[in-house]
Amino acid sequence: MNYFNTHTHQFSNQADVLELVNQYPQEFDASIPNYSIGIHPLFINKNRLESDFQILEEKLALPECLALGECGLDKRSETPFEEQQYVFEKQLVLAEKYRKPVVIHCVAAFQELIQSKKKLNITVPIIIHGFSKKNELAKQLIEAGFYFSFGKNLLRNPELESVFKNIPNYRIFLETDTIDEGIQEVYALAAKYKNISVKELQEIVNKNYNAVFESKTNL
C-alpha cells in the first residue's frame, strides 16, 4: 500500500490506500475489511454499555480489527466526566488485554489522558487523532509516549505547520477523518512541511505502521 489512513469514517476502497475505518459497536459494518472500534465519549449510553463492551471484546479478538477507538475524553460532552473516565479506562484495559493500539479523541482533557495512561501502565501504542494543539503540549505528549495523527487541521490551519515539523518522524500518522479531501492531499502537504518527498513520507508512515500495529507484512 502507498498510503495509510489512520482514521476515517468513510471506506473508500482505494487499491493503494489502507484505511483504518472508525466503527461503533451498535453500528458495526462487517463488510469493512480493516477497522478500529470503540465507545466515543460523546456517544456513551449507560443503557447499552454492557452490550457495547461485549461487542468490543468480540471484535478486538479478530485480526481485521487493527485498533481500539476512537475513544477518549471530552470535556465538552454532556456525559459526566467521571463516567467518561470509567468507560475510557475500561477500554484501555481491553486494548492492553488484546494488544491493540488505541485511537484517541481528546478535547480539553490531555492531562487526564496522560494520567490514565500512567495509572493503568498502558504499554500498547496510543495515537491522538486530529492533533491540533501547541508545541508545549505536543512535547509533553511525546515524553509520555504518545503518537500523533494529523489531517483536517493540518490542511485548514497553517499555524499547525511548526507543530507538525517538530513532531519526530517516528511518531506521526496521517488521516482524513470526515473531510472531503483524500489522504493523498494530506500526504502532499505533510511532505511539503517536512521538506521531504511524498515517497519518503510514505516510507516513514509505513515504518510507523509496522511498528505500532505489529503488522506481519510490510505495507
Q: What is the 3-state secondary structure (H, E, C) of 114-150?
A: HHHHHHCCCCCCEEECCCCCCHHHHHHHHHCCCEEEE
Q: What are phi and psi of 119, to 5 degrees?
A: -60, -40
In a domain, 219, yes or no: no
Please write the tens of the pLDDT for every residue from 37-54: 999 999 999 999 999 999
pLDDT of the residue at 39? 98
Residues 175, 149 contacting (CB under 8 angstroms): yes
pLDDT of the residue at 36? 98
Look at the chain and report how many structural domains it folds into: 1
In a domain, 199, yes or no: yes
In a domain, 85, yes or no: yes
In a domain, 57, yes or no: yes
Please write the tens of the pLDDT for every residue from 187-216: 999 999 999 999 999 999 999 999 999 754
Contacting residues for 98 by C-beta, under 8 A, at least 6 apart: 57, 60, 61, 68
Question: What span, in angstroms and rounded, lies between the C-alpha atoms of 42 and 145?
Answer: 25
Q: What residues make up the domain containing 117? A: 3-212
**Is 175 exposed, middle or buried, given 0-12, 13-18 or 19+ CB atoms closer than 10 A?**
buried
Residue 129 is assigned to a ligand binding site: yes
In a domain, 25, yes or no: yes
Residue 181 is assigned to a ligand binding site: no
* Amino acid, single-letter form, for residue 44: I
* Amino acid, single-letter form, for residue 9: H
pLDDT of the residue at 214? 78
pLDDT of the residue at 215? 56
In a domain, 197, yes or no: yes
In a domain, 154, yes or no: yes
pLDDT of the residue at 218? 46
Residue 7 is assigned to a ligand binding site: no
pLDDT of the residue at 217? 41
13: CATH:
3.20.20.140
Q: Is the pTM of this model over 0.85?
A: yes
Please write the tens of the pLDDT for every residue from 69-106: 999 999 999 999 999 999 999 999 999 999 999 999 99
In a domain, 143, yes or no: yes
Question: Which residues lie across from 126 on neighbouring strands?
Answer: 102
Give the count of alpha carbons within 13 A of 112, CB side only: 17
| pLDDT > 90 in the chain, percent | 97
Please write the tens of the pLDDT for every residue from 144-184: 999 999 999 999 999 999 999 999 999 999 999 999 999 99
Question: What span, in angstroms and rounded, lies between the C-alpha atoms of 180 and 21?
Answer: 15
Using a CB cutoff of 8 Å and minimum separation of 24, what contacts does 86-94 make?
87/39, 87/41, 87/44, 87/49, 88/41, 88/116, 89/116, 89/119, 89/120, 90/53, 91/38, 91/39, 91/56, 92/116, 92/117, 92/120, 92/122, 93/120, 94/53, 94/56, 94/57, 94/60, 94/68
